């Protein structure tokens, strides 16, 4: 019997809206690993903006739509530790005591993975066929790191990219200050946090900053650009897929 390999790609709202190339890089990586990738059109957002604002009712409504849309797949994969963490760790808690949805949410969440950890831990990918000339540094986004234990997997695959040198920054595991709506509700504090982060990034010799979450990446890219730092910012999937030819995040599009 053939092993089931149908992946439903949860694109995430930020990738969908701001950086579609990360979506295409994700599709390529999953297909290269031997999976059949589908992108159901009925997806929007994981619901974190509502969930983290205390709006449980709207979050549950959004979660129901997401579960209905994706539960037919063998795996649900997202190029974001934050959104995957929401789907995997938080959806079940939204339906505690709901006889129908509690089981559905639990079955759904079992199948959810963040992209890079899926490639390494589930698909057993050992290396990627990509080239990137230059030094990069990798920021561990909080949810991926602490909710899903993602740290080793991206570094492992980056280590197989031809020409790439990984140089760790100081405190790669400390929050960049994005925090979803936090960054606009408490802009001064968020700014202080991202300043610390960009100082550490700039103190490394890396020409490129990578991470696995677009929210954090847009925050750091926006700050680096405001500081006029000559550091390119990309989602780790772009480099792993060998699709890092286009403009970096927040850079001129010719």
Contact between residue 226 and residue 233 where contact means Cβ atoms under 8 Å apart: no
In the complex, least distance from residue 121 CB atom to other proteins, rounded to whole angstroms: 20
Pick 124 or 228: Cβ nearer other proteins: 228
Question: Nearer Cβ to other proteins, position 53 or 103?
Answer: 53
Contact 42, 49 (CB under 8 A): no
Q: How far is the CB of 199 from other proteins (least distance, A)?
A: 12
Q: How far is the CB of 128 from other proteins (least distance, A)?
A: 21
Nearer to other proteins, 132 or 140 (CB): 140
Is the Cβ of residue 56 or residue 155 nearer to other proteins in the bound state? Answer: 56
Q: Give the max Cα distance, the chain.
A: 57
Nearest approach in angstroms of CB 195 to other proteins is: 8
CB of 53 to other proteins, least distance (A): 5
Q: Closer CB to other proteins, residue 95 or residue 178?
A: 178
């Amino acid at each position: 019997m053939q092993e089931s390999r149908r992946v439903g790609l949860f694109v995430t709202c930020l990738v969908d809206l701001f950086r579609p190339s990360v979506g295409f890089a994700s599709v390529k990586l999953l297909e290269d690993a031997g999976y059949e990738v589908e992108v159901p059109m009925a997806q929007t957002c994981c619901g974190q903006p509502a969930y983290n604002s205390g709006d449980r009712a709207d979050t549950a409504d959004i979660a129901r739509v997401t579960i209905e849309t994706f539960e037919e797949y063998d795996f649900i994969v997202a190029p974001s530790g934050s959104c995957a963490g929401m789907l995997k760790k938080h959806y079940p808690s939204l339906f505690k005591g709901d006889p129908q949805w509690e089981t559905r949410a639990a079955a759904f969440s079992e199948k959810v993975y963040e992209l890079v950890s899926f490639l390494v831990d589930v698909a057993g990918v050992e290396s990627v066929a990509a080239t990137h000339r230059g030094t990069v540094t990798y920021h561990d986004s909080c949810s991926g790191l602490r909710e899903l234990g993602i740290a080793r997997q991206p570094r492992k695959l980056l280590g197989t990219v031809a020409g790439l040198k990984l140089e760790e920054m100081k405190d790669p595991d400390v929050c960049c200050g994005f925090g979803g709506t936090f960054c606009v509700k408490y802009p001064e504090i968020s700014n202080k946090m991202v300043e610390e982060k960009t100082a550490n990034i700039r103190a490394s010799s890396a020409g490129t900053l990578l991470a696995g979450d677009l929210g954090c990446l847009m925050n750091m890219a926006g700050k680096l650009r405001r500081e006029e730092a000559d550091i390119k910012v990309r989602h780790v999937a772009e480099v792993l897929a060998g699709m890092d030819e286009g403009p970096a995040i927040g850079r001129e599009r010719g």
